[in-house]
Amino acid sequence: MKGFSRLFIAGCLLCAMPLVQACDVKNQGECGGESFKKLDKNGDGAISKKEFLAFHEALFNTMDANHDGKLSPEEMGTAHEATKDECKVSFDQRFDEVDINHDGGLSKDEAEIGMPMLFKHFDEIDANKDSKISKEEIAASMKKMHRKMDKINENGGDAMKKGDQQ
């Protein structure tokens, strides 16, 4: 079970990596960033339970399109797609900013400077071993990770069951 927990956490982190790197930089980082400030309404440097709940209630109300006090799978899906689309645009913009020589791929140096989470997994993502990673390779790497996570879930949490080992 300990091995599954580590694998699951690693998988989740790897799956989230491009989105973390892609979404607007001002909302990332240490406590005190823009996201923190949005929640800390009274500016005291801490988020109270009241502030936390108020923020999430407003978020819920935004997602509850028909205002029935419940979130349907469709409403959740719509909210997820909106966030995904927002991050996709930000990811493309971020990738293009980091691609200093504008060759459509990130070298190790470019990734290290501008997208350190991608740099940490550079060799895994660089499928064709041309010493640069493209948007397509990143997307393929994410799909591969999702398939691995789905297989783990299908196996009831065991990372590999007999016959599933590669």
Return all residues near 90 (Cβ < 8 A) that are at least 6 apart.
22, 23, 24
- Rounded-to-integer distance, Cα 112 and Cα 120, Å: 8
Residue 17, pLDDT score:
45
| pLDDT tens figures, 19-46 | 444 444 444 444 446 677 778 888 888 8
- Rounded-to-integer distance, Cα 122 and Cα 120, Å: 6
SS3 of residue 104 by DSSP: coil
Instruction: Look at strands 105-107 and 132-134 and give their pairing.
Output: antiparallel
Q: What is the pTM of this model?
A: 0.46
